[in-house]
Amino acid sequence: MTNRKGSIERFETGENFYSQQFFGCHKMVQKEKNGYVFRVWAPKAQTIWLVGDFNEWNRSLSLKKDEQFGVWEIFTTKPKEGDFYKYLVKQEDGREVYKIDPFAVRFEKRPKDAAIIHTLPEKKWKDGLWQGRKKRSNYFKRPLNIYEVHASSWKCEEDGSPYTFHSLKDTLIPYVKEMGFSHIEFMPLMEHPLGMSWGYQLIGYFALCSYYGTTEEFQEFVEECHLNNIGVLIDWVPGHFCINDDALAYFDGTAQFEYTDEIRAKNIRWGSLNFDLSKPEVQSFLISSALYWIETFHIDGIRVDAVSNMLYLDYDDGPTILNPDGSNRNWDGYYFLQKLNAVIKQAHPDLIMIAEESSSETKITGTIESGALGFDYKWNLGWMNDTLCFYEMDVVFRKYNFHLITFSFMYMMNENYILPLSHDEVVHGKRSLMHKMWGDRYKQFSQLRNLYVYMMTHPGKKLLFMGSEWGQFLEWKYDEHLEWIDLDDEMNHNMQHFTQILNTFYKNERALWELDHIFETIEIIDADNSEETVLSFIRKGKAKKDFLIIILNFTPIERKDFVIGVPFSGKYEEVLNTEMKEYGGTWTASNPVSETIAEPFKQFDHQIQTIVPALGAIILKPKEINTRSKKK
């Protein structure tokens, strides 16, 4: 009784971070009888019945209410593993509604939506080496190159049904390993009733979407990823939830999970409901969900979706309610996010916490003590918007808008950033990354290679959405698999090969990630050459000789005898050229080794000359240099 009362009290004070171990459906022995106990929080409900296969969906099983806490409970010997069940809730106004179990761990396949009684067996994990290495390493100083995946549209079976994680284990993991990505990030995997929502409108915060297979299959998938040195990240949506009548929405007939004020409760932009993040019970529920995914599946990181929606009262469309002083900060969301990060980091210091956040008014990454929210990384949506706007532009106008490609250097250290080329940019008529590029098909591939070099060499971690690695021309379709047939085309095949080479190059070059989040990682050579529209800069590692020189040409004009400054005298060799024939370009040989000339160039005492291909990018590396030579 003490444990029961303690679990409820911690839940009601926002401190029960394992509330799924008490609520939901659990095996139990009572008076020497084997059965199941069902518990649900619904303080304003009049009556709740447990209905399912085991009682022919009738009202024979009534739950008993704890009046002090608003928790309903029943023990029964009738159900068995695999049975379907729901709650029939007589709400405060007398309306009777079938509701799902908010803590259910398995559901039947949509469009059906009953929960399934399931006891998850304890798994004996085999990823100890991965976990140990993760604890000893500093992910800020390691390569982080994410392959973003929508699980049900990466590949499909011949009948159109999506691959489950059983099939993805044998296909996606070898592919990601071969391509050289360090992590897979999945769009939300939790139970959701509408595929069109891509998983961002949830009903089951503790259940793997039945469309994707079983809990055990996903555990095996993550384990296999770790055995192949691949990390797994997941998207998670604590800000808003599905408005469906049989789910969390107005569960007991009142604003139970959502805000009492209808304006704050409604999320007009996404047609959903906002969690009342000030409620202790909601905090317990959501943090329990996050820890459940981390610990049940050995997840390596969580990307929290739509953080701006939780931070600002006027983020949504339509009417808003501001603070009494007229400010727009949603303090409920602000303090919840700090609490979320504090709890998770205390339990799992090596877990990566990522925010998808679009404003610059709140410090997102950094310590909570400094006033930040406590995230490790933030998606750099400003970089993404400016960059894609620039690459979509006719080359004639690029020199007048050169700031779009250079402005990010002004704020690149304001947060710990991930540079995302995500799913959001290849849907809703925005066109695929390939289709965004200016010019004919050859020029589009040239610029796509150029874009990926710019992303890989710019400070910040990396993310690329599936299909973009080979330049899929069609927009992403959530209900169909990727256009794998593209790879029969030589240009797409060469593009995929280039992405693989670039990923490997990124992983092997410490200068591209070792000092990623401090200013010492980069030195601008020339960000003012708008007339020729060529950008050049240096990326540096810890060692003095460990640096790369990056030159990007954003015009279809080959720049012969192109001059740049270099930090040391000596020889520099080309280590990557986007216009090599093997990548889909026309060059059959690399630039020759460049020797320095003792003439000044901006802050440098030495310079070199090279050829920069049209719409191409080249990367140079010191071959024989004198590090005792000084720059101005």
| Residues with active-site annotation | 305, 356
- Going by DSSP bridges, is the β-strand pair 594-595/606-612 parallel, antiparallel, or unpaired? unpaired
Integer Cα distance of 204 and 202 in angstroms: 6
Please name the amino acid found at residue 170: D
Taking each helix axis from N to C terminus, what angle separates 381-392 and 441-457, rounded to the nearest 10 degrees? 150
Integer Cα distance of 318 and 451 in angstroms: 37
End-to-end CA distance of the chain: 75
Beta strands in 397-487 (DSSP E): 417-421, 461-465
Instruction: Of 371, 370, 372, 375, give the one whose Cα is nearest residue 345.
Output: 375
Q: Answer yes or no: are the C-beta atoms of 189 and 209 closer than 8 Å.
A: yes
CA 118 to chain centroid? 29
Integer Cα distance of 99 and 89 in angstroms: 7
Instruction: Of 446, 498, 501, 471, give the one whose Cα is nearest residue 612.
Output: 446
Q: Give the dihedral sign, CA 556/557/563/569.
A: positive
Integer Cα distance of 471 and 448 in angstroms: 8
Q: CA of 400: how far to CAs of 234, 390, 394, 530, in Å?
A: 40, 10, 11, 7
- Largest separation between any pair of C-alpha atoms in the chain: 92
Enumerate residues 6+ apart whose C-beta is below 8 A from 31: none
Please name the amino acid found at residue 116: I
Q: Answer yes or no: are the C-beta atoms of 188 and 234 closer than 8 Å.
A: yes
Q: Answer yes or no: are the C-beta atoms of 171 and 227 closer than 8 Å.
A: no
Residue 344 token pair? 């998770």
**Torsion (CA) 319, 324, 330, 335 in degrees, nearest 10:** -160
- Going by DSSP bridges, is the β-strand pair 190-191/204-208 parallel, antiparallel, or unpaired? antiparallel
Q: Give the dihedral sign, CA 83/163/151/302.
A: positive
Instruction: Of 587, 631, 585, 630, give the one whose Cα is nearest residue 611.
Output: 587
Integer Cα distance of 513 and 140 in angstroms: 8
3-class DSSP state of 202: coil
Burial (0-12, 13-18, 19+ Cβ within 10 Å), 409? middle
Q: Answer yes or no: are the C-beta atoms of 204 and 191 closer than 8 Å.
A: yes
- Count of beta carbons in the 10 Å neighbourhood of residue 361: 10
Which residue carries 């007009």 as its tokens? 268
280: phi then psi, degrees, rounded to nearest 5: -60, -40
DSSP of 331-368: HHHHHHHHHHHHHHHHH-TT-EEEE----SSS--BS-G
- Count of beta carbons in the 10 Å neighbourhood of residue 519: 10
DSSP-assigned beta bridge partners for residue 572 = 594, 622
DSSP-assigned beta bridge partners for residue 65 = 72
